[in-house]
Amino acid sequence: MSMEEEVDRPVPPGARLTWATTEEGDLVEGWLFLGEGVSVERPGPALVFFHGNNELIDHCLEFAEVYPKWGLSVMLVEYRGYGRSGGKPSREGVRSDMIQFYNWLVDQPEVDADRIVFQGRSLGGAVAADLAGEVAPAALILVSTFTSMEVMFWRFGIPGFMASDKYRTESLMETFSFPVLVIHGNRDNIVPVGHGRELGSLGADTQYIEYDANHDLPTDWDRFQTDIQRFLREKGILGGP
């Protein structure tokens, strides 16, 4: 888990910038985009988005453009050692940063703390599930996510015991009582669809959707939006049609 890339893009217009601080004093970046119509007087739901391994928050701005139109605030969180953020990534370190971001988000007066959703893509799904094992969200959305890091190591010919950060999403799923939506592509060439099917069968309140698509979801934004909105409305997180 690492990605080093020089990024000089300024904070996007409308984003509220915050930083988590690592044990060594390095700073990790987060951006919050408020949903349309939310205010201190009318706090609304929020979604924390966890990106994949070969991405940065700079690459995920489409979520900050689409979701706020529903009245859903979006927080894009970075990982240690990625982009402008310092430190060295590890499961424990990243979880510590994500807890800081979550606590900061809960304190924002425009956010309804009882309607915070986690959404992760690929590796980000494992990070989201790992955080959900510490602080339960109102709902969890896993997109193109693997069952465990060990299984992924074996897929690429590396013994599973070599995985230092043992993200075991399937074990966590068995303990979750909150709603979970799992989305996977049946032509995923990175994380085979069997991972999504297994995760989709676990948990007390899990829905599974399979697309005719590869790893890079969403490929069809219209369908993706419809599926996400339907799920969030069914679970009482988004209001109104």
- Domains of the chain are 15-234 (3.40.50.1820)
Query: What is the percentage of the chain residues whose pLDDT exceeds 70?
Result: 89
For 177-216, what is each residue's pLDDT tens digit? 999 999 999 999 999 999 999 999 999 999 999 999 999 9
Q: What value, to the nearest 5°, has the Cα angle with vertex 19 and ends 144 and 74?
A: 45
For 81-99, what is each residue's pLDDT tens digit? 999 999 988 889 999 999 9
Residues 96, 59, 152, 176: is their CA dihedral positive or negative? positive
d(CA 56, CA 15): 16
Q: What pLDDT does residue 143 have?
A: 97
Task: Report residue 149's pLDDT band, with 50, 70 and 90 as the boundaries.
Answer: confident
Q: What pLDDT does residue 72 have?
A: 98
Q: What pLDDT does residue 165 have?
A: 59
For 107-135, what is each residue's pLDDT tens digit? 999 999 999 999 999 999 999 999 999 99
Is residue 126 a contact partner of residue 104, using CB atoms and an 8 Å limit? no
